[in-house]
Structure 1
Amino acid sequence: MLTDTQCRTAKPKNKPYKLSDDKGLYLEVKPNGVKAWRYRFKLTREGVTKESVFAIGDYTSAPSGETPEEAKARRAGGRFTLAEAREERIKARGLVKQGINPAHNRQLERIKREQESATTFEAVAREWVSLKDWEDVTKARRLDMLERVVIPKIGALPVRQVTPVHILDVLKTAQEKNGPSVAAEAKRAMSGVFELAVSTLRADTDPVYPVRKALPANKTQHKRPLGTAEIGQLLRDVSGHGGRHETLGAFRLMWWTLCRPSEAVEAQWAEFDLEAAIWRIPAERMKKRKEHVIPLPLQAVEMLRALHGITGHHSHVFPGRDDRKKPMAVASFRQMLNVLSWSGKFSPHATRATGSTRLNEMGYSPDWIERQLAHTEPNAVRRTYNHADYLTDRAKMMQQWADMLDAWQKGGDVVPLRKIKGA
């Protein structure tokens, strides 16, 4: 068997020569002075035995004071001491006993590492969204959240290298900057991405699972209807916010029409007929995939006419701050509410529950209210025969609603008047 002194002092000759160690391992000394570790083995396949040579790497003596990290990097560069070459020979022999060519195995491992490096979290996340059986608008919203909250932090990492520590950092940041609802959505989305990665052998585990309960549960009743005094205070706070006119305008439009937050922020000028005071939201933007016609109160028409001079040259009524070709994000509402200390007490989705409660108190027909909210009639038979939009009736109802909002915002302790029958 070789000694390290023999390896270190071996001199080059005119032709390559070998210094044998043990069990197929030898050191090849080349004329240019390079000393290379080789492992000779025999592999039998389908009754045929072939002799092959596996190139382990080059010889080096152990550097003085080398750290474990430095040694690992050296071996990754293909330089091995005598002891390390023997360890590599043991690994190679183990593969040969299994009928595996160690050279082929190393090639496969390299390809695997390259694929893992190319398979980033962002790539798998985008694939996950594309594979979901969702409407395009839902996919766009989920991808928008990932691009804002998750991808900036872990998108560039190979998906197999993402750890629970990374996940916890994403969730804590989302909780602080975007609120508990967004953090919860990010957690669900990341877990879905890793479910896909594991099922396609690109990851071994879901790193979200160990930290799934690290943050306190969001116990806020986001859809609790606000009382009239709370509505007034909220509207006063928002009016005094001094933020972007797009955010304030979209927020007011949501309250005046009781549309969904996403329907407000993604509104396009082509959808509005301000002369007729009508807003037609196309089917592809609606949750139920059916066009929704909304009557606009005078307050909404006036606001939109004024805003048209500012954003009318864009396709979206409320364009985004960074990309004016895209609509503003729903998250803008949550950020504004967080600044105004309303986060945890109210979420934009509670607007519709509030409007439904107050309009029912005002004595309006449930059919009118449900149609205003674009809710589907739960009774199948009634749904078949009830095609009425009640547009004229809803226009009167929503005008009174907008007038009540004005009164509450001014601080008036106004009790909703019951609608006069037949009005």
Structure 2
Amino acid sequence: MPLTVKEIENIQPGSKPTKHTDEKGLFLLVAPTGSKRWHMKYRFNGKEKRISFGPFPEVSLKAARAKRDEARALLADGVDPSGKRQAERLEQRLAQENTFGMVARELIEKRASDGDKAISETTRSKTEWLLSLLEPAIGSVPVPEVTAPMLLAALRQVEESGRRETARRLRSFASRVIDYAIATGRAEHNPAPALRRALRSPVVRNHPAIIDPRQLGKLLKAIDDYRGYASTNAALKLSAHLFQRPGEIRAMRWADLDLDKAIWTIPAGDTKMRREHRVPLSRQALAIIRSMEDVSSYSEWVFPSWTPKKPLSENAINGALRRLGYEGKMTAHGFRSTASSLLNESGKWNPDAIERALAHQDGNAVRSVYNRTQYWPERVAMMQWWSDQLDSFKAGVFEELQGGGQ
């Protein structure tokens, strides 16, 4: 006879599990603890099998019978209900393990440990920051389920806050993550590339820079008189002499310096163009770096932050320039524009040598390789000339630059 709800409620547990049959294979198993659980017995490919439908009363008699009928319908179609459930659970588990956030972290870890091609700690931090911006929206979404509208909504949220360039970088980062998922068999389609034209173009902002030698001299004297944190002081002075990208200067490592040969080699993973870049060091630049040599005993960074395990913060140099009264007049990046303008104006140096010194990438691959080596002696001379010019500006001497080229 089929079970009734009242009969089920009145069943008392025994010293051993007891089985109470309903119909069509459905039965209730009552444990000595008093728990009651629905099961269905069936045969598939000649083997007797069993599938569980959950506990009573959470799963009512009516719901248990409905589950039984669904299982019988699968059997009629030649499908094993238990096998189907296991496959669904595996699929669900894989989906949980293959969320955008998890795949992104896997990619970051892979790139961080990729031997000679490994990304720097600075690049890793920036990548993790980009992931933190996307995670609230799509971090828990399985990669195959990330759609173009879903990703665009996340990008637009950043874009509408005024950070257009960040939104552009987020799209590129998301594309790399999904491409990696495709390469590892966890996704089939990447919606990110199609969103390139859906985003607004970043607003081009020219970095404020001083190109008047007399005004530059005043700034250099103000920098000498600045009394801030030692790392900030030294990095600020060195920025004027080396005119490399601010992120590269603040993340300078002792391991990348050859002070005897006066060369700073920036690893490919630390450069914007992902190509190794060598920088000749003038006497003045060497003196600034050597003033920080005590730091090498406890930090890998030439300009450590308050925490020796981290380099100087991204806003340290610009913050110092603001405190010196140069907000809106000069930035850390502005030293590059300053050097480029005055070096070209001097007429003393090949424009290609200046571009190489700035680590600007040449679009012509063959010419790029040629320029990488051809201008080294000229760049060594140019960097020393530039440092000497800065000293002259600071001392109020301007005749040599204004005298024109050779």
**TM-score (ref. length: structure 1):** 0.66
Q: Which moved more, 1:34-43 or 1:345-354?
A: 345-354
RMSD: 5.3
> Which ranges of structure 2 fall in alignment gaps of 5 or more residues?
none
Match of 1:9 in 2: 10
User: Residues 193 and 291 (structure 1 numbering): CA distance in 2 closer, same or farther, change over 3 Å?
Assistant: closer
1:267 equivalenced with 2:264 (yes/no): no
Match of 2:344 in 1: 360
> Which ranges of structure 1 fall in alignment gaps of 5 or more residues?
61-78
1:26 equivalenced with 2:32 (yes/no): no
Runs of 4+ in 1 over 6 A off after TM superposition: 132-135, 173-176, 203-216, 233-242, 273-276, 334-347
Correspondence list, 1:7-406, <5 A: 7-11=8-12, 16-21=18-23, 23-29=24-30, 33-44=34-45, 49-60=46-57, 79-119=58-98, 123-129=102-108, 130=110, 136=117, 138=119, 140-148=121-129, 150-151=131-132, 154=135, 158=140, 160=142, 168=154, 172=158, 181-182=165-166, 184-197=168-181, 200=184, 202=186, 217-222=201-206, 226-228=209-211, 244-269=229-254, 278-281=262-265, 289=275, 292-296=278-282, 298=284, 300-309=285-294, 314-322=299-307, 324-328=308-312, 330=314, 348-349=332-333, 351-365=335-349, 366-374=351-359, 378=364, 380=366, 383=370, 386=374, 389-391=377-379, 393-403=381-391, 406=394
Which one-letter code corresponds to 2:9 in the other structure? R
User: How big is the shift at 1:317?
Assistant: 1.0
Q: Distance in 1 between matches of 2:204 and 2:320?
A: 17
User: Residues 334 and 150 (structure 1 numbering): CA distance in 2 closer, same or farther, change over 3 Å?
Assistant: farther
User: How big is the shift at 1:347?
Assistant: 7.0
**Number of matched residues?**
389
Q: Distance in 2 between matches of 1:135 and 1:107?
A: 42
User: Residues 51 and 311 (structure 1 numbering): CA distance in 2 closer, same or farther, change over 3 Å?
Assistant: closer
Which one-letter code corresponds to 2:382 in the other structure? R
Q: Secondary structure at the match of 1:249?
A: helix
Q: Which moved more, 1:114-123 or 1:164-173?
A: 164-173
User: Residues 282 and 213 (structure 1 numbering): CA distance in 2 closer, same or farther, change over 3 Å?
Assistant: closer
Q: Distance in 2 between matches of 1:134 and 1:152?
A: 28
Aligned partners of 1:368 and 1:393 also within 8 Å: no
Match of 1:68 in 2: none
Which one-letter code corresponds to 2:263 in the other structure? W
Which one-letter code corresponds to 1:185 in the other structure? R
User: How big is the shift at 1:257?
Assistant: 1.3
Q: Distance in 2 between matches of 1:265 and 1:103?
A: 59
User: Residues 261 and 32 (structure 1 numbering): CA distance in 2 closer, same or farther, change over 3 Å?
Assistant: closer
Match of 1:63 in 2: none
User: Residues 143 and 2 (structure 1 numbering): CA distance in 2 closer, same or farther, change over 3 Å?
Assistant: same
User: Residues 360 and 157 (structure 1 numbering): CA distance in 2 closer, same or farther, change over 3 Å?
Assistant: closer
Can you list the C-alpha shifts for 1:302-339, whole angstroms capped at 9, x where unaligned? Answer: 433433345665332112443x2454455655777899
Which one-letter code corresponds to 1:250 in the other structure? A
User: Residues 239 and 171 (structure 1 numbering): CA distance in 2 closer, same or farther, change over 3 Å?
Assistant: farther
User: Residues 373 and 134 (structure 1 numbering): CA distance in 2 closer, same or farther, change over 3 Å?
Assistant: farther
Percent of aligned positions that are identical:
24
**TM-score (ref. length: structure 2):** 0.69
Q: Secondary structure at the match of 2:339?
A: helix
